[in-house]
């Protein structure tokens, strides 16, 4: 993991197309501004993890284990 120090209103650039700016620092909370192309999804980690769990679940893949398969 790369660890960088930044002050308020300073930024970092990722891959030339994503800019993360420190917007505010209050106590133990840091507010970030993120500029990224619309093709790059940006989520908080807990939202990303929930979306991944949902996408990986059998129900989201179209097979409900509670419904019998009558196609055979």
Q: What is the DSSP string of the chain?
A: -------TT-EEEETTTEEEEEEEEETTEEEEEEE--TTS----HHHHHHHHHHHHSTGGGT--TTS-----
Q: Look over the chain and give the mean of its residue pLDDT values, rounded to a whole number.
A: 88
pTM: 0.71
pLDDT digits (tens, 9 = 90+) for 12-33: 999 999 999 999 999 999 999 9
């Amino acid at each position: 993991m790369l660890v960088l120090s930044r002050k308020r209103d300073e930024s970092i650039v990722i891959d030339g197309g994503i800019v993360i700016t420190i917007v505010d620092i209050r106590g133990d909370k840091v507010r970030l501004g993120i500029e990224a192309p619309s093709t790059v999804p940006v989520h908080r980690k807990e939202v990303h993890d929930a979306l991944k769990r949902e996408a990986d679940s059998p129900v989201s893949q179209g097979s409900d284990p509670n419904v019998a398969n009558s196609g055979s």
